[in-house]
Amino acid sequence: MRKHKNTILFVISWGLFIGLLLFSIIRLQQDSKIVNYTGIVRGGTQRLVKLELSGQPNDPLIESLDQILEELHTGNGPHHISKSHDLAFTEKLQDLSAMWKDLKRDIEAVRSTGGALERAALLQKSEAYFTLANETVFAAEQSSEYKLTFSLLLTALLTFVVFYGLMHLNKRQNAKLNRLLYTDPLTGIANQSAFADRALYLLRDNPSISYALVYFDINNFKYVNDAYGYETGDALLQAIAQYFDRHLSKSELCARINADHFALLTFNGEERDISLTKRIRVCIDQAVSDGIELNIADSLSYSFGIYQIVDHAEPVNSMMDKANIALKQAKNHEEMRTVSYNDALFAKLQRERQIEARMQSALQNAEFLVYLQPKVEISTNTMIGAESLVRWVSPEFGFLPPDEFIPLFEKNGFIAQLDFYVLDRVCRKMRQVIDDRLSDSFSISINLSRVTLYQDDFFERFTRIVERYKMPPSRIELEVTESAFIGNQEGILSVLERLKGMGFLIAMDDFGSGYSSLNLLKLLPIDVLKIDKQFLRESSKGDRSYRIIKCVIEMAKALDAQVVCEGVETKEQVDFLAQINCDIGQGYYFARPMAIADFEVAYNLH
C-alpha cells in the first residue's frame, strides 16, 4: 500500500513539474508576442508618419495599427495576443493609445491643409510617440523578463522539492530494503548476508584481535516446537538472539543463519575450543533463563562448529562454510557436540567426497564384496549360521573397512542400494549350497539400515529378491537396530510383522549399545536378541556387570528369543557365556569375517 502511495506521489510531482514547465513556456511565448507587436506599433507608426509627410497616405496601415492596439488592450483579435496584466505596461499602453488618437488627428490635419505648421506638429508628435512607444516596449520586456525569472525560480524550487522528496523516499525505500535484505525478520538481528558483510569490516578493522567463527544450533529443536508449540520455539530463538545482541561488544557479531542456526564472530584469545563453547553455552542458558515466559522444563543442549580464524583476509564465506562443516560433523556424532575445523577434518571431507563420487560406479562394477562371519552354537561348538557383512575393494582406494563408508552411505541414503545389493548377492550364492550342505537351522543374517527400512517400496523390493532365488524365509534373519524405530515406529513394526508372518527371522542388533527400550522389546516380534560386544567386555569387571548380562539373557529366553553375543575373542569369554546359558557366540575367537568363497572352503560348502 505504501509503495502504491509513493508511486502516486511520484507521478503527481512530475506532473506538477512538467505542467509548470509547459505553463512557463506558453507564458514566455505570449509575452514575446506582446513585446513583438508593441514593437510593430512603434515601427509601424514611424513608417506611417514618413508616408504621410511624403504625401503617401496609407489607411490600411492605420487600420492595422488600430487593430493591434485594440488587441493589446483586450486580448481579443486575429493575432491571438494575450492581454497583459502588468500594471506598468498597461499604463504605458493606455498613454500610447491616447497619443495614437492625437497622432491620427494630426495626420488628418496634414491631409486636409498640407501646411508647414501641421506638418511640423505631426513630426513633433511622432517623435513623442516614438519615445512613449519605446518605453512601452521596454515595460513589456521588463514584464516578460520578470515572469521568466519568476518561472525559472519557481521551476527550480519545484525541481528541488521534487528531487529532494524523491531522494528522501528513495532513501526510506533503500533503508527498508536494507532491513529486509540484512535483518532476520523473526529475531531482528543480522541475517547471513549482513553477517558476511559486517564480519568483513570487523576483521579488516581489527587485525590484532584473535577471532573465532562459531556456528551453533539447538539439538532436537523440533522437539521444542512439537512439545511447547511454535510460539515458544520462536520466543526461544528471539531470547537467544536478543541476549547476544545486547551483550556482545561492538567488535563482535551475532546472526541468525536459518531455523535454529546461529553464527558468532567472537573473541577467542587464549581459550581452547572447549572453553570457548562453554562460555557461549553459559550465555545461551542465561538467555533462556531470562526469557521468563518460555517455561521450558526440558534441558536444552547445543552443537558447535568452530573455525579459528588465522588469516583475517580470508573470504568470510569460506570461513562460514568451514564453521558450518564443523557443525554438521558435530551433529553427526552425538558423543561429540563440539567440532573444530582443521586440516584433518578437511581431509576427511575430501575423502568422503571422493568416496561419494565413486560409490555408484563401484556398485555397478561389483567392487562391494560380501563377507560372512560364522555364528557358533556355544553348547556344541557348531557353526549354525553366519552374518553377512560388506567390504569395499576399490581399484582406486584399495581395501576399505565398513567404518569408512557405511556411516557416509547412511547419511547420503546410498546405504539402501547397498543393502539390497548385499541381499541379492547372499541369496544368489547361498541358494546354490543351502539345500544340500547346510542344516535346517542354518540362517544368514542380513543387516538392514533404518534408511533402507524407510523406503516406500522396501517390502516389495525385499520380497522380490528373495522370491527370485526361491530362498526359504526361515533361512534369512533380518537384523535391525533400535535406532531404526526412531521417528516411524509404527511403520517399521508393521513391515517387520508382515515379514515375521511370512517366516523370516527378526533380530534386534546391538542390544545395549544405546538407550534400549524394554517397551520396544515387548512390541517387536523378535526371534533373536544380539547382545552388543560392550556388554561382554564389561562382564569381566565385576559381579554387577555379570548379573546384568545374565538378566538380559534370562529376559530374552523369557521372550522365546535366542541370544547371540557378539565380540567373542577369548576362551574365557566362551566359558562365561556357556555358564550363563548364552545360545550363540560370534567373534574373532571362532572366525574372522571372510569372503564367501573362503567361507565355503572353511566349512566344506563348495
- CATH number of the domain at 68, please: 1.20.1420
**All cell numbers assigned to 315:** 573470504
Indicate if 121 and 205 belong to the same structural domain: no
Could you tell me if residue 439 is inside a domain? yes
Quick: pLDDT tens for 109-143: 888 887 888 888 888 888 888 888 888 888 878 88
| Whole-number Cα distances in Å, 317 to 199, 208, 283, 326, 495 | 10, 21, 25, 14, 45
| Residue 267 CB burial class (10 angstroms; 0-12, 13-18, ≥19) | middle
In terms of residues, how long is the chain? 606
Could you tell me if residue 186 is inside a domain? no
Q: Which of 309, 341, 373 is the C-terminal boundary of a domain? A: 341
Separation of alpha carbons 168 and 174, rounded Å: 10
Indicate if 125 and 252 belong to the same structural domain: no
User: In this structure, are residues 367 and 392 in contact, taking their beta carbons and an 8 Å threshold?
Assistant: yes
Quick: pLDDT tens for 397-443: 999 989 999 989 998 999 999 999 999 999 988 877 766 566 667 88
Indicate if 173 and 213 belong to the same structural domain: no
Indicate if 427 and 517 belong to the same structural domain: yes
Indicate if 209 and 290 belong to the same structural domain: yes
Closest CA to 388 of 359, 352, 424: 424
Closest CA to 377 of 389, 387, 369, 385: 385
> Between residues 435 and 167, which one has the greater pLDDT?
167
Torsion of the alpha carbons at 539, 526, 515 and 574, rounded to the nearest 10: 10
- For residue 443, which amino acid is it? S
What pTM was computed for the model?
0.62
Q: Which of 283, 318, 341 is the C-terminal boundary of a domain? A: 341
Q: 293: domain range?
A: 192-341
Task: Find the distance separating the first CA and the last CA of the chain, reported in whole Å.
Answer: 82
Closest CA to 521 of 504, 506, 536: 506
- CATH number of the domain at 303, please: 3.30.70.270
Read off the pLDDT band of 154 (50, 70, 90). confident
Question: How many domains is the chain partitioned into structurally?
Answer: 3
Indicate if 169 and 284 belong to the same structural domain: no
Residue 3 scores a pLDDT above 60: no
Could you tell me if residue 185 is inside a domain? no
Specify the pLDDT at position 210. 92
Separation of alpha carbons 420 and 429, rounded Å: 14
User: In this structure, are residues 236 and 262 in contact, taking their beta carbons and an 8 Å threshold?
Assistant: no
Residue 534 scores a pLDDT above 90: no
- CATH number of the domain at 386, please: 3.20.20.450
Indicate if 275 and 251 belong to the same structural domain: yes
Q: Which of 341, 364, 392 is the C-terminal boundary of a domain? A: 341
CB count, 10 Å around CB of 364? 8
Indicate if 354 and 452 belong to the same structural domain: yes
Indicate if 554 and 477 belong to the same structural domain: yes
Look at the block and give the residue holding cell 533373536.
528
Separation of alpha carbons 242 and 282, rounded Å: 15
Could you tell me if residue 183 is inside a domain? no
Residue 38 scores a pLDDT above 90: no
User: In this structure, are residues 577 and 549 in contact, taking their beta carbons and an 8 Å threshold?
Assistant: no
> In the 8-state DSSP scheme, what is residue 183?
B
Quick: pLDDT tens for 453-481: 999 999 999 999 999 999 999 999 999 98
Specify the pLDDT at position 329. 87
Indicate if 148 and 22 belong to the same structural domain: yes
Indicate if 161 and 226 belong to the same structural domain: no
Indicate if 503 and 407 belong to the same structural domain: yes
Question: What mean pLDDT is reported for the chain?
Answer: 85
HSE (CB half, 13 Å, CA atoms) of 461?
17
150-159, 204-213, 263-272, 289-298 — which is least confidently predicted? 289-298
Residue 20 scores a pLDDT above 70: no
Could you tell me if residue 187 is inside a domain? no
User: In this structure, are residues 450 and 483 in contact, taking their beta carbons and an 8 Å threshold?
Assistant: yes
Quick: pLDDT tens for 559-574: 889 999 999 999 999 9
Could you tell me if residue 184 is inside a domain? no
Read off the pLDDT band of 523 (50, 70, 90). confident
Could you tell me if residue 521 is inside a domain? yes
Residues with a catalytic annotation lie at: 566
Could you tell me if residue 565 is inside a domain? yes
Read off the pLDDT band of 323 (50, 70, 90). very high
Closest CA to 531 of 504, 501, 557: 557
User: In this structure, are residues 448 and 479 in contact, taking their beta carbons and an 8 Å threshold?
Assistant: yes
Quick: pLDDT tens for 335-388: 668 898 988 888 888 898 999 999 999 999 999 999 999 999 999 999 999 999
Separation of alpha carbons 235 and 116, rounded Å: 111
Quick: pLDDT tens for 63-101: 888 888 888 888 888 888 888 888 888 888 898 888 888
| Residue 125 CB burial class (10 angstroms; 0-12, 13-18, ≥19) | middle
Separation of alpha carbons 14 and 307, rounded Å: 54
